[in-house]
Amino acid sequence: MRRPLRILMSAGPTREPLDPVRFISNYSSGYMGAQLAAEALARGHRVTVVCGPIGEPLPAAARVVRVEQAEEMERALRQRAKRADVVLMAAAVSDFRPTRRATVKLQRRNRLRLELKATPDIISRLPRHPRQIVVGFALETDRVAARAKQKLQAKRLDLLLAQHANGGGAPFGRRPVHAWLLSRDGTVTRLGSISKSRAASVLLDKIEALCYGQRRTAR
């Protein structure tokens, strides 16, 4: 029998506070993360999910660590990354945060200039071990496969699931996504329009093949 994999994953958006009552964030629902966690657990793996604020329910058998900001997400993942066989970075980490967080509520005014700075690129900075598989996700409005290829290399990922954001709501929530799967060996597989649960299954097949060194046979 195959050893269960220890899968550490992130899901959902992060919130970067502006003042005590406001934040910047994105439309991520956490649904993709929930599907991945459910699929991994169904295959007998051990799953820890570090997740931002989401409404989607996560499977009861997953260990869940709730966070809010990108920096908290990074801390929670860093503490656990070394023990993971697989790191799945499905969170839509806010790429920017306000440089300053006001301690009192900002009052209405005609114009407000915000200064933002980049959040840490968590996946690139996590401690790794040699046999660990690191999987990223990318969301692009244009040149999806080409941009995804650059990210796979820049972030030293083993796999990357790239999705097209069409401006009309996709790929957020429960709708199907238009996706590509990229591997570190240069393979790009067009998945076309695919449900998130099916995408989770395709991804887990690939991860298991890499971890166990063989193609998974149909269940």
Positions marked active-site: 26
Q: How far is the CB of 148 from ligand C5P (least distance, A)?
A: 8
Q: Is 138 in the site for ligand C5P (CB under 6 A)?
A: yes
User: Does position 89 bind ligand C5P by CB under 6 A?
Assistant: yes
DSSP state of 20: T
- Quote the strand ranges of the chain, DSSP E: 6-11, 16-19, 22-24, 46-51, 63-66, 86-89, 96-98, 116-118, 133-140, 159-164, 177-183, 188-194
Q: Does 68 bind ligand C5P (CB under 6 A)?
A: no
Number of residues written out for the chain: 219
Asked if 76 is part of the footprint of ligand C5P (rule: CB under 6 A), the reply reads no
What letter does residue 159 receive in the DSSP assignment? E
Tokens standing for residue 67? 């966070």
Does 91 bind ligand C5P (CB under 6 A)? Our answer is yes
Does position 159 interact with ligand C5P (CB under 6 A)? The reply is no
- Binds ligand C5P (CB under 6 A): choice among 151, 164, 196, 206: 151
Q: Which residues bind ligand C5P (CB under 6 A)?
A: 70, 89, 91, 93, 95, 119-123, 136-138, 151, 155
